[in-house]
Structure 1
Amino acid sequence: MVTMIAAAAENNALGKDNDLVWHLPDDFKRFKKLTTGHPIIMGRKTYESFPSPLPNRKHIIITRQENYKACEKCVVVKSLEEALEIAKEDEQPFIIGGGEIYKQALPFTDKIELTRVHGSFEADAFFPELNLANWELTAEEFHAKDEKHNYAFTYLTYMKKK
């Protein structure tokens, strides 16, 4: 089951200048809990936005750059299809971005773990528009703005309709 995981604003903004435009500690914890032990598939710019590779996850990085060098344990591939082939031994590989990778991965995705950040933001990377006729909302959990979170957000879990 290929799972896409993202935090996107109400206008589908993901980030700007290769960084997030919000800081949600509880969402980082959820991301870690869900993805640990599974391959994470990402574009080169998403990989480069990390201060260091994320522990206990196989990093599969998609890039068109020839001879791209990533961390020792990282796998560098040229296409989403190649990334999915490498990750297929795992029961739940995660697509973690960025915007272009999400768009390419949508047809291959079975489940979406979306953190909807309540607000609109200026961005240069966006989550693809979902055709909700193709997806069933199976879980929803609202979190209010608080001292650690400058924005309210909702965890949404979608399953692709058969």
Structure 2
Amino acid sequence: MELVQIAAIGKRNELGKNNALIWHLKEDMKFFRRMTKGHTIVMGRKTFESLPGMLPKRHHIIITRDLSYSKEGIEIFHSIEDFIESYKEKKEEVFVIGGGQIYSQLLPYSSHLYLTEIDHEFDADVFYPEFNREDYYCNVLTDFEEDGIHYRHIEYIKK
């Protein structure tokens, strides 16, 4: 498995507030769909519950400590270790889509990060984990301004 993280973050690594995104940038949503479509996506339970429903054309995995949690059509793991063990031999890209704890716990296993870096500070209660950018090669993929907000899609590849 190649573990890839995809997230949109503000200047202070803001991710969301009250279990919701804190921005709605059309081009960023298109980027997310294009990158994850046809792939497996892994997330925490709260992130899944914040979605409008199942994301089309993606295999969903939820990691939750709630041993009684189940959802039809979704693969459930109750620990990061169980997920890693089950997927380590698979030959596919798996996209980590949130939330903050899942990003943090899976960061050491992730070979790529696709971060939408938004040039704005937001009021947030969930943050993307700090990471040393020196440990990655960096490619700026796009540069946008939308609704007066400047942002870039950046690919980080672990050295």
- Tell me if TM exceeds 0.5: yes
How many residues of Structure 1 are paired with residues of Structure 2 in the alignment?
157
1:85 offset after TM fit, Å? Answer: 3.8
Unpaired runs of 5+ in structure 2?
none
- Amino acid of the structure 2 residue aligned with 1:76: I
The Cα shift of 1:90 comes to 4.2
1:64-75 alignment to 2 at 5 Å? 64-70=65-71, 72-75=72-75
> Letter of the aligned partner of 1:157 in structure 2?
E
1:154 to 134, 152, 155: 152
1:23 aligns with 2:24: yes
Cα RMSD (Å) of the superposition?
1.3
SS at match of 2:20: coil
- Find the counterpart in structure 1 of residue 48 from structure 2: 47
TM-score normalised over the length of structure 2: 0.93
- The gaps in structure 1 that reach 5 residues or longer are none
Cα deviation, residue 81, structure 1: 2.7
**AA partner of residue 150 (structure 2):** A
Give every structure 1 segment of 4 or more consecutive aligned residues whose post-TM-superposition deviation is greater than 6 Å. none
Measured in 1, the distance between the counterparts of 2:73 and 2:91 equals 17
The letter of the residue matching 1:73 is G
Q: What percentage of aligned pairs have identical amino acids? A: 41
More strand by share: 2
Equivalent-residue separation in structure 2 for 1:60 and 1:143 (angstroms):
31
1:84 corresponds in structure 2 to: 84
Length-normalised TM-score, structure 1: 0.91
Letter in 1 for 2:83: A
**11-20 vs 87-96, which moves further:** 87-96
CA positional deviation for 1:28: 0.9
